[in-house]
């Protein structure tokens, strides 16, 4: 197996992003709200939607 050059590694690797962290936090808020409080759950739903849209529209 050959060793990849620096250019090949950067072409394969995605850019750093905060969207996955936001989406993970939003899912936690949503699930906490589903167990505890409806208003927190609705806020979690909004955050999940924002996270999914933001991550999918991110420029590559």
Angle between helices 19-35 and 38-56 (to 10 degrees): 160
Residue 5 has pLDDT above 80, yes or no: no
Query: Rounded to an integer, what distance in angstroms lies between the CA atom of residue 18 and that of residue 27?
Result: 15
Selected residue with higher pLDDT from 7 and 22: 22
The pTM (predicted TM-score) of the whole model is: 0.73
């Amino acid at each position: 197996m050959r060793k990849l050059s620096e250019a090949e590694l950067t072409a394969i690797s995605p850019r750093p992003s905060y969207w996955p962290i936001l989406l993970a936090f939003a899912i936690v808020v949503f699930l906490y709200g589903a167990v505890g409080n409806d208003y927190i759950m609705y806020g979690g739903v909004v955050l999940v939607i924002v996270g999914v849209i933001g991550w999918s529209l991110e420029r590559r």
